[in-house]
């Protein structure tokens, strides 16, 4: 209890150590995590803009994030970055390397960068990252960027934490992009064709624009071209993000998404709570096994609800 | 592989100064990952202050520094000093690389808890990281 109060006080003062420690507590999700999260100021969370940056490996997400940071810093915005990398399925360890591309901000106290391993959580990642967003918001970050590789389902789920999601693509990543195209427009509010200095970039951008036109949707998804290594196109990108944010807040889309993401996080956390219960109840069911897993599952849930 | 505890430790591996030899640092980072650590790797050519600031934000339980070009005499202690500036001198620092015998004593005196040179068995290095992380947590979360 004493420690949490101390950390909350530290968050208020933007103390880097307190922020780092508080994030670890939330990441490890234990009893203190719950106490900590329930002591946070909700109004600060409501005011933040959460921006998701996703896309295939190597597209330039971290480099671009670093450029967006520079841009927002010039406007005096204090911001947080959550950079998520996969965990090794064998050892459970991870190498978290996104920060390398953001080191130019290392000494800027108003840029709070936190690397996070996906930890192969079954779900769960959403609730952990959601908690980190809350801590950063209480540590004074008014914009929070979440960088994650957009390939697996859990990564896509994370994107739902964001108010606005940018999908970063690049030429030369070929098959990856082909495979992603189908689900691409479902999650992205805007597309970024990065590495515009490379051959094939304009083709890719035009390809994407054609796809958007064919979709016959009421709202159009902008396609931005950037060279993250040089900063080209970043101010247009930031402007596009700002205008989408304004639209979403005016139309109620922003509020709707926040509600959805809140629900998602609650379900995620509820599943975490139930999972061990399910296992222990299933053990009690032993001997009375049915061959059909579906039917067993329904019986299991019924038993749990009756408890 | 060494014995695993349930806690997943976060560590930072960095290279202070202009030394570009990064094979050893990457080798150590991968070895730590394969032993279950979450390793924040900050790349080559960082200042001691940048490394210390990153360690604080990432709330790591130990820092590993690598140097092969002779800069360790000044740069390793400078990281310890930078940690003090950020009120984070309790984070243990371990060093490694091409480091002559006569420097080891001075570095340890300056607060680097262990120095590992080429040819050290990996097991020994991993054990040192485990021990450093455990003792850090013991102190931090009494
Ligand atoms: C490969 C190599 C290079 C490669 C580097 C490639 C790369 N990306 O890393 C290249 C060709 C680029 C290179 C260049 C130079 N090199 Co060179 N290089 C070497 C060499 C032959 C091997 C280093 C290596 O990769 N070893 C393999 C790795 C896995 O081992 P390691 O790094 O030692 O790591 C082990 C341990 O030291 C320890 N360890 C290392 N770091 C850490 C960190 C932690 C936390 C822990 C716990 C342990 C640990 O664990 C590792 C595993 O056991 C060494 C000689 C030698 N035998 O060490 C010279 C050597 C390091 N290079 C040297 C020099 C002088 C240079 C140049 C200046 C040469 C020049 N005049 O241009 C340049 C400078 C480059 C730069 N920008 O800094 C000298 C340094 C002398 C000194 N200390 O004063 C050495 C010692 C050669 C010599 N005897 O003169 N080099
Ligand atoms: N030519 C060119 N290279 C770029 C550009 N943006 C990034 N790169 C390079 O692409 C490589 C990958 O960049 P990152 O920013 O690490 O990409 P990422 O998407 O974050 O990668 P992961 O996190 O590993 O998925 C680096 O070598 C960058 O320097 C660009 O606009 N043009
Ligand atoms: Mg990245």
The answer to whether A93 contacts B58, with C-beta atoms less than 8 Å apart, is: no
Q: What is the mean pLDDT of the segment spanning A236-251?
A: 96
User: What CATH number belongs to B10-140?
Assistant: 3.40.50.280
First to last CA, chain A: 32
Cα–Cα distances (Å) from A221 to A49, A106, A209, in that order, read: 19, 33, 8
- Cα-Cα-Cα-Cα dihedral of A6, A12, A16, A22, to 10°? 50
Q: Identify all chain A residues contacting B17, using CB atoms and an 8 Å cutoff.
A: none
**Topology of the domain covering A41-251:** Rossmann fold (3.40.50)
The C-alpha of A155 sits at a distance from chain B's nearest C-alpha, in angstroms, of 18
Measured from the Cα of A55, ligand 2's closest atom is 19
State which ligand 1 atom lies nearest to the alpha carbon of B94.
Answer: 45
Dihedral of the alpha carbons of A32, A35, A39, A44, in degrees to the nearest 10 = 60
Looking at residue B88, the DSSP 8-state letter turns out to be -
Least Cα distance to A171 among A118, A252, A227 occurs for A227
Q: What is the pLDDT of residue A225?
A: 98
CA dihedral for A32, A37, A38, A39, sign (positive or negative): positive
Domain coordinates of chain A in residue numbers? 1-39, 41-251, 261-306
If you ran DSSP here, which 8-state letter would residue B16 be given? Answer: B
Question: Are the beta carbons of B36 and A95 separated by less than 8 Å?
Answer: no
pLDDT digits (tens, 9 = 90+) for B17-34: 999 999 999 999 999 999
The Cα–Cα gap between A300 and A285 comes to 8
- Provide the total of helices (H) and of strands (E) in chain B, helices listed first: 5, 5
* Closest residue to A100, CB basis, from B39, B42, B53: B42
Residues within 6 Å of ligand 2 by CB? A 57-63, 98, 101, 149, 194-195, 197-198, 227-229
Q: Is B133 in the pocket of ligand 1 (CB under 6 A)?
A: no
Q: Which of B35, B38, B41 sits opposite A117 (nearest CB)?
A: B38
A187 has pLDDT over 90: no
**Cα B80 from Cα B93, distance rounded (Å):** 7
Mutate to test the pocket of ligand 1, among B11, B22, B24 (most ligand atoms within 8 A of CB): B24
- When pLDDT is averaged across residues A17-46 and rounded to a whole number, the result is 92
Share of chain B above pLDDT 90, in %: 90
Point out the ligand 2 atom lying closest to the alpha carbon of residue A57: 25
Domain edges within chain B: 10-140
Residue A196 main-chain phi, psi, to 5 deg = -65, -10
Contact A95 B39 (CB under 8 A): yes
B5: chain A residues, CB-CB within 8 Å: none
CA B3 – CA B13 distance, rounded (Å): 21
Note the pLDDT tens digit of each residue in B62-121: 999 999 999 999 999 999 999 999 999 999 999 999 999 999 999 999 999 999 999 999
Cα pseudo-dihedral B115, B116, B122, B126, rounded to 10:
10
Instruction: Give the pLDDT score at B4.
Output: 42
Q: At what angle do helices A293-306 and A253-284 cross, to 10 degrees?
A: 100
Question: Residue A82: pLDDT band by 50, 70, 90 thresholds?
Answer: very high
Runs of H (alpha helix) within chain A: 2-12, 16-27, 31-38, 42-47, 61-74, 125-138, 153-159, 175-187, 201-214, 234-251, 253-284, 293-306
Q: How far apart are CA B82 and CA A200, in angstroms?
A: 45
* Mean pLDDT, residues B13-20 taken together: 97
Structure tokens at B106: 């001075």
- What pLDDT does residue A156 have? 66
Query: pLDDT at position A126, please?
Result: 63
């Amino acid at each position: 209890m004493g420690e949490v109060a101390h950390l909350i006080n530290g968050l208020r003062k933007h103390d880097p150590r307190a922020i780092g420690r508080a994030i670890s507590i939330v990441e490890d999700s234990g009893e203190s995590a719950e106490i900590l999260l329930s002591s946070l100021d909700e109004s600060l969370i409501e005011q933040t803009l959460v921006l998701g940056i996703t896309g295939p490996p190597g597209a330039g997400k971290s480099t671009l994030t670093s450029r967006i940071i520079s841009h927002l810093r010039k406007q005096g915005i204090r911001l947080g970055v959550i950079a998520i990398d996969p965990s090794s399925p064998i050892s459970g360890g991870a190498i978290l390397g996104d920060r390398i591309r953001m080191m130019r901000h290392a000494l800027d106290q108003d840029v709070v960068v936190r690397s996070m391993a996906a930890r192969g959580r079954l779900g769960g990642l959403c609730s952990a990252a959601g908690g980190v967003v809350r801590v950063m918001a209480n540590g004074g970050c008014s914009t929070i960027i979440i960088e994650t590789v957009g390939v697996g389902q859990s990564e896509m789920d994370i994107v739902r934490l964001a108010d606005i999601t940018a999908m970063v693509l690049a030429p030369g990543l070929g098959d990856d992009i082909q495979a992603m195209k189908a689900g691409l427009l479902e999650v992205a509010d805007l597309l970024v064709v990065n590495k515009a200095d490379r051959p094939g970039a304009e083709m890719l951008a035009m390809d994407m624009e054609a796809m958007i036109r064919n979709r016959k949707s009421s709202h159009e998804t902008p396609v931005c071209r950037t060279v993250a290594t040089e900063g080209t196109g970043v101010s247009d990108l930031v402007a596009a993000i700002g205008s989408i944010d304004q639209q979403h807040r005016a139309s109620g889309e922003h509020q709707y998404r926040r509600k959805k993401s809140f629900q998602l996080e609650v379900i995620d956390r509820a599943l975490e709570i139930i999972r061990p219960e399910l296992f222990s109840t299933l053990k009690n069911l032993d001997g009375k096994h049915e061959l059909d897993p579906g039917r067993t599952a329904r019986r299991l849930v019924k038993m749990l609800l009756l408890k | 592989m060494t014995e695993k505890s349930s806690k997943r430790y976060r560590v930072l591996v960095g290279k202070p100064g202009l030394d570009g030899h990064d094979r050893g640092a990457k080798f150590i980072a991968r070895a730590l990952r394969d032993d279950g650590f979450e390793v924040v790797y900050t790349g080559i050519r960082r200042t001691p202050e940048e490394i210390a600031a990153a360690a604080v934000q990432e709330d790591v339980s130990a820092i590993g520094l690598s140097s092969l070009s002779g800069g360790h005499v000044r740069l390793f202690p400078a990281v310890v000093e930078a940690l003090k500036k950020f009120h984070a001198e309790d984070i243990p620092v371990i060093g490694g690389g091409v480091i002559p015998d006569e420097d080891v004593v001075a570095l340890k005196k300056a607060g680097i808890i262990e120095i590992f040179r080429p040819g050290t068995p990996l097991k020994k290095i991993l054990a040192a990281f485990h021990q450093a992380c455990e003792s850090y947590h013991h102190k931090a979360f009494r």
